[in-house]
Structure 1
Amino acid sequence: MSPIPPLPSHHRALTLKSTEVGLELTTVPTPVPSHGTVLVHVEAASVLSYHREIFNGARKYPLPSSTKDGAGFAGGYSAVGRVASVGPDATLLKPGQLVFADCVIHARDDPAGVFYLVGVATGSTDGGRYLANHVWRDGAFAEYVALPLENCVPLDESRLCSAPSAGGLGYSVADLAYASYLLVAYGGLRDIGLEPGETLIVCPATGGFGGAGVMTAVAMGARVIAMGRNATELARLQDRVATTYTAGNSHVETAAGSSTHLRSAIRALRRGGRVSLMGMTDDFADRSVVANNLTLKGKVMYEREDMVLFFKLLEAGLFPRGGGLDGGNENNFAHTKAFGLHQSQEALDAAAEHTGIGRSVVFAPEGMD
């Protein structure tokens, strides 16, 4: 464990007061954890490829009200950082621990009904809007983020980050933030019970979440067929997975987008196959769903149990590494571009372009400032 500096009274955060202005670097009070809360010192916060469109208003996501004290809210997604402080009821999390800090907020008294992504959107329920405006409001685009205890999963830092010569995997903290993409795929694949040795079609497979689906399925021991329209990205996958259309498969993971791709994949499934739908798409109703007794399950994000099991998979060293996936470093499983909080526009622009399997953009609040 690394030592944690004394908590400052204030810290820097990228806040949004209006989509007309966009993210602004501001100084905000540092939260003091109460019961059920953990304060995380952020080391790498993931930036989504479409964050720019959220914060400039192009995507009409429901956002927290900016009227609370006129302070706006800190944007964000999931992050990797260190426990800075915990409430009095914490038993597992300790100051100095490296943790994955998850952005998915569930209401403790209605976990199945109230759900939203802090720093991204408020969700569509009254409960989600209340929590996003009054309780868990600020995301991880900051030096510190306060979250529910259950949103943080301890990481085996020695195993994940130590050099291979010392028995570790040699991952950087910034690269570990790529787990925020991989976890979405893992949640959907685990939801349909993907088993080692089974065959999976990922479509589309060349974007941020689709590419993460390919990597996750390989780590889970599946044979993967990647579908997509980006020939350059498909070429990066050819030494690891099949990239041509093949009939007679078992399962489909779809991350978003094209109903044509999805119909083709569904029609390739054998009788009794399963489909995990993890993104929004056009109408794809197809008679083969009924004719072939297919199971179609929608899945948004993942559960806490998924997070715990996912990091066991990661710590086992089963994810693809090198081989053109990471910009040339044979030890890492991601090619990460890091930016300081003062480089918000550069980071948002980079995230929109630096997409595909193994590619990630993060804010590193201290390492780059």
Structure 2
Amino acid sequence: MRVLGLMSGTSADGVDAVLAHFSGQPQRPRWTLEAHHFSPYPAELQRRLIHVGQGEPVPAAELLELAEAVTEHQALAARACDPVGRAQLVGCHGQTLWHRPPQPGRRGASWQLLQGPLLAELLGRPVVFDFRSADLALGGQGAPLVPPADQALLGRCGGWRAVLNLGGIANLTLIPPATGPQRHQPVRGWDCGPANTLLDLATRHFSAGRLAYDAGGAWARQGRCDEALIQHWLREPYFQTPPPKSTGRELFGQADLERRLGELGPRDPADALATLTGFSAAVVAHELGHGPQPVELLVAGGGCRNALLMEQLRLRCRGLILRPLAELGIGDAEREALAFALLAWWHVRGHRGSLPSVTGARRAAVLGLLAKPQHART
């Protein structure tokens, strides 16, 4: 079956779309990645999404219009990736506005902005969406959802294999080895903390809105990293909490940046960016201590294009083979969209797509809701 996967992450920079073909057994499918397209959000749409995601109050009418705009842009990305309409199914994550992990005495919740039935009608294809709610209803974190897809798509190696996504938030997957006494261990995964969220917000701040991100880490490279402050930040509660855990802009957003800039004090912007870049890498190295030691770290996501961030990762994750996920056939911008294509395929196959070992839910669940167009295209 050909499936379109659509993903827009915490950075809210646009929609990654992939067209993939799946066949065989759900646990270890045969798959082919046939096309990829990135459709950036218009600047004003990105600005509105980030501001709402930071908790800015807006009228209900504006939220409705925002949901329509996001849905229409998902359709635009889908058509650009699959212009002749070969896909039989669409899996769409939507745009996260707010994520609330479970707390003692209170279940978690997560809001992915999308009008699923509208997208199905626009594309004339069934759409699987709202992937997180079933896991949240079962007491899970609702995130991350990609680790079981990582195992199914990538398989295992001779030791623990780690997959790192450097999006707005950094998240990890740990896949157990193919052989040996730990081969029966479950897949693990969790959100590490900030990757690009604080860096992008700081770049906008220091450039007075002229720059959306620090391209290649060039600005940060001109500064000096405050290692003592990084070690101080790593003692914060989130980094001391063992998995399962998940996070987003609600914890590592504008308010958090302002606090950290206050702790940095009046120093050169390059020094602040260098310290935040080192912090993003240090978070990953620190969080790897919460699980079994992997033999390799496969890296994907927009942070791969930040040369300084990658250098910091290599420096702080010594002893690991660090290489791009693209070496295994999945580009750094394709991984999550491909995962949601697979989750959609799993949904129609009735295959449980969540892992209690990752999210902490009471049991695994078939993820997503299915919206069908009223008049499907032929």
Fold in common (TM above 0.5)? no
TM-score, normalization by structure 1? 0.31
Larger proportion of helix: 2
Larger proportion of strand: 1
TM-score, normalization by structure 2? 0.31
